[in-house]
Amino acid sequence: MRRGVALYPLTPTILPVVMHWEQLQPDYRLASLLAPSGFSVAGHDAGHMLHLPDTGIRVDDRIDSRPEAWDILLAVETAEDNEGICEERLELVRWALSHEKLVHYIGRSPDSVPDGLRELAGEYEGRVRITTLWTKREDLYPKEKLHRFQVPLVLVGGLIEEADVFAMLVKLYARLVQDGERPLVVTKQPIGGLLGFASIEPALCALSVDEAEKIERINVLLKDLETREQPSIILLEAPDAVMKYNNYLTNGFGIRTYMLAQAAEPDAFLCCIPSELGEMPFVEEISRDFSLRLGVGIDAVHVSNAVIDGVDSRQERKLYLTHTTLEDIDGRIRQQREAYPEGNCLFNGWTEDFEGLYHTLFMDAQEEAPPPQDGAAPDPRAWLLELLGSKFGVPEEMLAKGNWDLPLTGEFFGFSGMDLFYLLLEVEKRTGCSIPVEALSDYQFNSISTVLKTLETIPADIPASQVGDPV
């Protein structure tokens, strides 16, 4: 039975979780929703915060508006935390405890939990539960080389984090679960701890470790998560904005996201952008940059209704946002689709347009890295590349995706006809099936890409006598 909770604070980061509350977690019933003082949403529907359609969830004015409806205060750290929110959250915790309520506090890390809360936990022993998204890990020892992953990895990031990055991450997760998938979600948002999400922060925040080793630790941590959780797909929230926005909104220069991409090599990328940048020529330009810098281009774009206030942002050297209507976003996207009908990847993830975004993104991801079948051998990409390195001495740097279409018997790889024949034999041994003659014609077994395509199509019951010599 779900227990009634009052949730504080409602912020833009928390809103998408509220919108999918019943689907995302089984333990709590949302009985009261509290926004920070000054947000001007009390008494309104929760969607009012971001100029979204009504969610059917009203924001309460005070914590004592409906105390009989809940018995647990769910107090959460958020990306929007400031001194005022932190003080107000602690006051609400005091009120709840003094009125015989329980408290569940969800923080970012053990170091982020305020001393005042720990004191209250000691004073009201047994009535305060503290959980954090991540704990420190000392066992993230880098290996001799980076691990490869058996399932598709999808990066969700934005030119600014406030362009609904976490919202789209949550919506994708909810839809994947609905479709019967087993997604593993990596986030930096503390409320992710309530939803069973994971974090790479233990690797990113490791002390006395240089950036190169942090990348290796991220790789080890993600591989450990993949091994333990056995997901069918991994969703990666970019740990910061994916690039510098301009010279006064530097966004951390996208350094942490670059580190993640080096550690994990995403197969697909959903990029969230503010409304004014929702134009295909701009998207195509930055996609080419991401292809070189992150190793993955843009597969789909969510055009947020967030609008950057350029004047205030420039003056204060701090991001200030307003929000336009979803109708305005739909109009902008419609205009771009008319002007650029081919290859248009702009979507409004807040509306029914999300369906197009979802199918575009995951069609690409599945094509890049199909998940292994139940009880089957690991992803052929992983063992084929390992085979080429260990059995044929191909250096790891030559196995980059950009070289997969080059002929193995060409100048770059330098395979002989006998090398190709031995490769065929090794592939047959690994798969337990024979390669038909048809697959060897027209150079269909003479590049990494064509070998992988052959592996996707060959039947498993062809007699070995039908296999011909390589051409």
Structure tokens at 69: 């409806």
What pLDDT score was predicted for residue 422? Answer: 75
Peptide bond into 9 cis (omega under 30): yes
Lowest mean pLDDT among 33-42, 149-158, 183-192, 400-409: 400-409
pTM: predicted TM-score of the whole model, two decimal places: 0.77
* Radius of gyration of the chain from its Cα atoms, rounded to whole angstroms: 25
**How many Å apart are CA 272 and CA 158, to the nearest integer?**
4
What percent of the chain stands above pLDDT 70? 89
**pLDDT above 50: residue 464:** no
Residue matched to tokens 């047959």: 428
What pLDDT score was predicted for residue 139? Answer: 85
Catalogue all structural domains in the chain, each as residue range(s) with its CATH number: 3-132 (3.40.50.720), 153-368 (3.40.50.300), 380-466 (1.10.1200)
What pLDDT score was predicted for residue 167? Answer: 97
**Per this entry, what is the length of the chain?**
471
Which residue, among 131, 260, 146, has the nearest Cα to 203 in the 3D structure? 260
What pLDDT score was predicted for residue 456? Answer: 74
**pLDDT above 80: residue 463:** no
N-to-C CA span, the chain: 66
What pLDDT score was predicted for residue 248? Answer: 76
**How many Å apart are CA 4 and CA 24, to the nearest integer?**
15
Higher pLDDT, 142 or 53: 53
- pLDDT tens by residue, 288-322: 999 988 989 999 999 999 998 877 667 766 778 89
**pLDDT above 90: residue 86:** yes
What pLDDT score was predicted for residue 330? Answer: 96
What pLDDT score was predicted for residue 27? Answer: 92
- Checking 316-325 for CB contacts under 8 A at 24+ apart, the result is 317/248, 317/249, 319/160, 319/162, 319/249, 321/162, 321/274, 323/50, 323/51, 324/51, 324/275, 325/51
What single-letter amino acid sits at 393?
G
pLDDT category, 459, cuts 50, 70, 90?
low
For residues 173-182, average pLDDT: 94
- pLDDT tens by residue, 271-286: 999 999 999 999 999 9
**pLDDT above 60: residue 1:** yes
Average confidence score pLDDT of the chain: 87
What pLDDT score was predicted for residue 81? Answer: 95
pLDDT category, 109, cuts 50, 70, 90?
very high
Q: Convert 88-108 to b/e letters by CB count within 10 Å (16 or more is b).
A: bbbebbbebbeeebbbbbbbb
What pLDDT score was predicted for residue 467? Answer: 36
- pLDDT tens by residue, 364-384: 555 544 444 444 445 677 888
